[in-house]
């Protein structure tokens, strides 16, 4: 397994030069676009990794999976999907257009920004601090760590520049999909996006999803199988932004990417995969990460679609 991962790394790392690090959040432009880290957590509890797999980076949109998992456990499926749909959009992650034009008057899914901001608004707690603390507690349990670190620079950088996300959030307020203060909900959202994980952490999370919510390291059920199924289905249809269809054809496994360069992927009953490669294509997906997953899927026959 390690040999395959090493070979895939050697080939995929060449693709870092075809991408660019995100710069619309100013602090992200400081990432090193030439980096690539790959990690694999297998059902029998082994971890394989290569490159910058231990390097921590901000999870960004991958936090939308984490927050959905959390809110499903604390609020339940009915409450969540009363406010957000389960349908792909084909639009970029930060699109606002369908909020106004769709008759449904709620975001299409929890993985576009509009849907994720609604989900952040469902986190329980009296203040943004308390909400994020309780969320981080859930995450610490999830990856078996003592504490979860938030990158204060990236958080502040996004908070200071997020005009479009503010516009989306105010629109959601008008649709009565956000209770309480808009800025408080955005604060929770920006902080969850700046949670630091490594590719190894992502692989462990992916493995838990692969095993229908069972964590083999901690030997306990973290999510009920239906919650894991909801998350994996949405990852399949909406996880790779407006490149989700092509990813399904080329790689064929549920995955979720973030503009920090991460991709978390899951292969039913077999493994979780984590990628860090901050050079992105025009849709916001890691160029080297996409190539690595495509090669791994072929080499190990991972395709489930
Ligand atoms: N914090 C980012 C934003 O809201 C996350 C986007 C992403 O990773 O797709 O713009």
Domain extents in the chain: 2-60+197-300, 62-193
- The reply to whether 67 belongs to the active site is no
Question: What percent of the chain stands above pLDDT 90?
Answer: 89
* Closest to 35 in 3D by CA, of 296, 260, 271: 260
pLDDT digits (tens, 9 = 90+) for 17-36: 999 999 999 999 999 999 99
Q: Rg (Cα) of the chain, in Å, rounded?
A: 18
Indicate if the pLDDT at residue 52 is higher than 90.
yes
User: Which one of 189, 198, 257, 275 is the catalytic residue?
Assistant: 189
Query: Residues 224-233: pLDDT tens digits?
Result: 999 999 999 9
**Identical fold at 2-60+197-300 and 62-193?**
yes
9 is catalytic: no
The residue to mutate among 193, 242, 276, having the most atoms of ligand 1 within 8 angstroms of its beta carbon, is 193
Q: Please tell me if the CB atom of residue 61 comes closer than 6 angstroms to any atom of ligand 1.
A: yes
CA 31-34-40 angle, 5° bins: 95
* Ligand 1 closest atom vs CA 259: 8
Q: Which residues of 213-246 are buried (b: 16+ CB within 10 A; e: fewer)?
A: bbbbeeeeebbeeebbebbbebbbbbbbbbbbee
Q: Angle CA(296)–CA(297)–CA(299) in degrees, nearest 5?
A: 60
Judged by DSSP in three states, 195 sits in: strand
Helix (H), strand (E) at residue 110? none
> What is the distance in A from the centroid of ligand 1 to the CA of 43?
30
pLDDT digits (tens, 9 = 90+) for 241-253: 889 999 999 999 9
Q: Which residue of 158, 243, 285 sits with most ligand 1 atoms within 8 Å of its CB, as the best mutation to test the pocket?
A: 158
pLDDT at 218 over 90: no
- pLDDT at position 103 is 63
62-193 fold: Beta-lactamase (3.40.710)
Instruction: Provide the pLDDT for residue 136.
Output: 97
For the domain covering 2-60+197-300, report its CATH number: 3.40.710.10
Given pLDDT bands bounded at 50, 70 and 90, which one contains residue 275? Answer: very high
Q: Determine whether 241 is an active site residue.
A: yes
Decide if 143 is catalytic: no
pLDDT score at 159 = 96
What is the pTM (predicted TM-score) of this model? 0.95
Mean pLDDT, the chain, whole residue set? 94
Whether residue 59 contacts residue 193, with contact meaning beta carbons closer than 8 Å, is answered with: yes
């Amino acid at each position: 397994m390690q040999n395959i991962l090493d070979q895939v790394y050697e080939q995929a790392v060449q693709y870092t030069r075809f991408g660019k690090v995100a710069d619309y959040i100013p602090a992200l432009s400081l990432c090193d676009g030439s980096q690539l880290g790959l990690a694999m957590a297998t059902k029998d509890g082994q971890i394989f990794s290569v490159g910058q797999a231990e390097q921590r980076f901000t999870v960004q949109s991958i936090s939308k999976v984490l927050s959905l998992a959390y809110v499903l456990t604390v609020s339940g499926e009915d409450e969540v999907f009363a406010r957000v749909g389960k349908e792909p959009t084909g639009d970029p992650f930060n699109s606002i257009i369908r909020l106004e034009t769709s008759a449904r008057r709620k975001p299409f899914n929890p993985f576009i920004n509009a849907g994720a901001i609604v989900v952040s608004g469902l986190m329980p707690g009296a203040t943004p601090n308390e909400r994020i603390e309780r969320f981080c507690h859930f995450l610490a349990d999830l990856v078996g760590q003592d504490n979860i670190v938030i990158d204060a620079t990236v958080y502040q950088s996004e908070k200071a520049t997020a005009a479009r996300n503010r516009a989306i959030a105010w629109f959601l307020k008008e649709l009565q999909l956000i209770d309480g203060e808009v800025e408080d909900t955005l604060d929770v959202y920006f902080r969850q996006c700046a949670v630091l994980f490594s590719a190894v952490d992502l692989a462990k999370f992916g493995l838990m999803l692969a095993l229908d919510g069972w964590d083999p390291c901690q030997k306990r059920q973290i999510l009920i199988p239906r919650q894991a199924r909801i998350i994996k289905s949405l990852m399949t249809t909406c996880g790779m932004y407006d490149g989700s269809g092509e990813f399904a054809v080329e790689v064929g496994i549920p995955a979720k990417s973030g503009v920090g360069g991460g991709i978390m992927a899951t292969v039913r009953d077999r493994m979780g995969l984590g990628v860090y490669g901050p050079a992105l294509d025009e849709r916001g997906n890691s160029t080297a990460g996409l190539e690595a997953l495509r090669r791994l899927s072929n080499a190990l026959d991972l395709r489930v679609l």
